[in-house]
Structure 1
Amino acid sequence: MHRYFALEDDMRIEGRWHLRHPLDEQGQKINPWRFTKSQWLEPQGTIRFPVKPDGLTLDFTVDAFGTPVAHGRMVQLFERLGIREVQFLPARIEGHMGPFFILNTLRTIRCIDDTRCEEVQYWQPEDGQPEKVGRYRVVAGMRIDPLKVGDARIFRTWGFSLGLIISEDLKQAMEAEGLTGTRFVEV
């Protein structure tokens, strides 16, 4: 059976940078949630990320809203591995040399295994957010059903779009490449 891992930003790195709200080329805030919908996006120029506090440049990180940002080294690895389930959108990190890209995952899979997770809660009508009813409100100790994943190597989990999941072979390739900022949690 294949193993899968949540790809997370390693917040334990001392002296690391922290990316803030993404901005367009005119300095206006853009909707960061559009990068969690697993949809192809037409590039609208280079997206900028302010950094505060500033610190160590990482090959992989997420901004304050969970938007994954990758250094060109990660893009090159994905290209070498033939991974086509992602789109890389040009980005600029203020005060840091790139190239950097937003990692826009293009697949969403309904695969969370509620019975094996530590806790799941769903949005209910009484929560006052009708657009979220039926989706996950809380997923703690996420576990997925690998039989529902198929041949996907990187994807988001349906109903809980912050879940960014990668295959074991992709995890191993990222580790072998020595990409910084990554944390892997088996799901």
Structure 2
Amino acid sequence: MSRRFFELSDDVSFPRRWHLSFPRSRQGREFEDPIQFNRGHPVDVEGPLQVSVEHAGSPLDFSEAGAKVPIVHVKVASIFAEQAPEDVQLIPVNVEGQPDQYLVLVATRLIRCIDEKASQIRLWTHADGLPEMAGTYASVRDMRIAKTQVGKAKVFRPEGWEVALIVSGEIREALERKGATGARFEEV
């Protein structure tokens, strides 16, 4: 049976949910590179980080804070640590007003795997006025991946479209068994 993979994202339709701010350093300062957590490689930051609740609501087990940075409850983090220890970095984060432990989930693998023929992609062109972006993905919809490129990875970001967090079917099943709130899955 072929392995299945899913884009894991924030279920923004979850009723009365909270919304989190972008993580800050343990001293409360903004990071110079705000998207470093989504580049598909380990980051060099010292935790615990700080996250504010921008909009009060139900705490979730999986949330994307500012810039789509995954913030996970310790019960979700334990699944990633057990099933994909080579694929993730978990950084402690204090979420304002929460006694429970949360962590920033960093996918540490970047894999060139987007199936451009099976996905709906649009590339930046020189006509878009951003010559440094020409030839790179401007959008990727209905993403499909070349599973042969993934190897043994269970968590990764696709090269060129790092905004997507991809997890294996095994990770999805474990999260669903655990009843993780806030997670949405779309097969890729």
Q: Shared fold by TM > 0.5?
A: yes
Report how far residue 28 of structure 1 moved: 2.3
Contact 2:84-2:155 at 8 Å conserved across structures:
no
Q: Can you give the 5+ residue segments of structure 1 that lack an aligned partner in the other structure?
A: none
Aligned pair count?
A: 186
| Equivalent position amino acid for 1:95 in 2 | G
Counterpart for residue 161 of structure 1: 162
CA offsets 1:134-166 (integer angstroms, 9 cap, x no match) = 321100111111121111101001000011101
Change (3 A) 1:43 1:133: same
Report how far residue 72 of structure 1 moved: 0.8
Report how far residue 131 of structure 1 moved: 4.5
SS of 2:89's equivalent in the other structure is: strand
Counterpart for residue 11 of structure 1: 12
Matched, 1:45 2:47: yes
| Equivalent position amino acid for 2:90 in 1 | F
State the TM-score, normalized to the length of structure 1: 0.92
Identical-residue share of aligned pairs (%): 34
Instruction: Provide the C-alpha distance between the structure 1 equivalents of 2:134 and 2:68, rounded to a whole number of angstroms.
Output: 21
Q: How is 1:102-117 mapped onto 2 (pairs within 5 angstroms)?
A: 102-117=104-119
Change (3 A) 1:131 1:37: farther
Change (3 A) 1:47 1:126: farther
Q: Can you give the 5+ residue segments of structure 2 that lack an aligned partner in the other structure?
A: none
Instruction: Provide the C-alpha distance between the structure 2 equivalents of 1:23 and 1:98, rounded to a whole number of angstroms.
Output: 18
- CA RMSD between the two structures: 1.6
Instruction: Provide the C-alpha distance between the structure 2 equivalents of 1:140 and 1:81, rounded to a whole number of angstroms.
Output: 28
State the TM-score, normalized to the length of structure 2: 0.91
Report how far residue 76 of structure 1 moved: 1.6
Matched, 1:80 2:82: yes
The worse-fitting range, judged by mean Cα deviation, of 24-33 and 70-79 is 24-33
